[in-house]
Amino acid sequence: MEFRKLGKTDLNLSAITYGSFAIGGTMWAGSVKKDAQEAILASIDNGITTLDTAPFYGFGFSEELIGETIKDLDRSKIQLLTKFGMVWDGSNKEKGDFMWNQEHEGKTYPIYKYASKANVIKEVEESLQRLKTDYIDLLQLHWPDSTTPIEETMEALQRLIEQGKILAAGVSNYTAQQMLEAQKSISLASNQVPYSMLKRGIESKVIPTAIENEIGIIAYSPLERGLLSGKFFNGESLKSEDHRNGYFGQFNLEKVKSFLESIEPIAKDKQVSLSQLVLRWTTLQFGISIVLAGARNKEQAVSNAKAIEVIISSDEMQFINTELAKLSLNQ
């Protein structure tokens, strides 16, 4: 495994990090606890030391799963990344930004983006309890909240750093301008943003701003939630309640299929999967610190971890990038 320093922090994170959105079950048509725990342990056994989660993933279930699974392991060798600011108790209707109504275990919950100082303090205590730990390596704001001044949120994070409850503070889904605004109040460790072969918008402003200010970039959805694995073009179906039924609609699926067919010979020649080739490509992109990869079972977890071993030559990289440009997939 490769390890990379995150921004100006002392955190050294695994280049491929375990992403736990799917095992939470929310939006993913459920989760199998045994499979999820095996995926977490297989990730660790194969060199992944960094686990990324959030309270929203399963309404606390993802954090609880991770906490329970690693409770007997050496905590000093594992980095826990979690988030705050997506609330579902309905108490912030006049404060936070409404996102959507989310179905969960037969009930409908209004989801709000809310990042007030009081809420940050409240949520971190809940996350510490669920994760069964006394500190969080990186605490990240999940989404920008227009109803709370950025300065207020960052001051709360700085206080948590001083108290030793978190080691570093980051954000997610921030624009370049929002990153600069946050930097006025805190030394920002990172910005977690969507980035993939099909979604490269951060290359224009976010990445240059991050590099200039020594802020790490954490890429999420590098496989576009499984689309770039190619398996959905080979007959694999999704459950009706799986959010990807709608999510995949944002892409020109015929173009995606053609692109994957064009690079598949490279994967076959290396005896690796398309997923592994795509993940490795993502880790090699300029300005990307670490890449999140979700796994719902042991097999997926092992595959993700071993993607770091894939060697892509300069000629192969040029071919992949040429195919991307030719098919106008960059967004």
Is residue 245 within 8 A of residue 238, CB to CB? The reply is yes
Determine whether 57 is an active site residue. yes
Residue 157 lies in a domain: yes
Task: Say how many domains are in the chain.
Answer: 1
Contacts 24+ apart (CB under 8 A), 163-166: 164/135, 165/124, 165/128, 165/134, 165/135, 165/136, 166/124, 166/135, 166/136, 166/137, 166/138, 166/139
pLDDT tens for the chain, residues 1 to 331: 999 999 999 999 999 999 998 888 787 777 789 999 999 999 999 999 999 999 999 999 999 999 999 999 999 999 999 999 999 876 655 678 999 898 888 888 999 999 999 999 999 999 999 999 999 999 999 999 999 999 999 999 999 999 999 999 999 999 999 999 999 999 999 999 999 999 999 999 999 999 999 999 999 999 999 899 988 887 677 887 778 878 888 888 899 999 999 999 999 999 999 999 999 999 999 999 999 999 999 999 999 999 999 999 999 999 999 999 887 644 4
Residue 220 lies in a domain: yes
Residue 315 lies in a domain: no
The pLDDT score that the predictor gives to residue 90 is 65
Classify 140 as helix, strand or coil: strand
Residue 240 lies in a domain: no
Residue 319 lies in a domain: no
Q: Give the pTM.
A: 0.94
Residue 43 sits in which domain range? 3-226+282-310
The pLDDT score that the predictor gives to residue 330 is 45
For position 202, which CATH number holds? 3.20.20.100
The pLDDT score that the predictor gives to residue 331 is 44
The pLDDT score that the predictor gives to residue 103 is 86
Residue tagged active-site, from 57, 112, 174, 220: 57
At what angle are helices 253-270 and 314-326 packed, to 10 degrees? 170
Classify 218 as helix, strand or coil: strand
**DSSP letter (8 states) at residue 329:** -
The pLDDT score that the predictor gives to residue 328 is 65
What gap in Å lies between CA 66 and CA 287, rounded to an integer?
A: 28
The pLDDT score that the predictor gives to residue 91 is 61
Residue 12 lies in a domain: yes
Residue 128 lies in a domain: yes
Residue 329 lies in a domain: no
Classify 208 as helix, strand or coil: helix
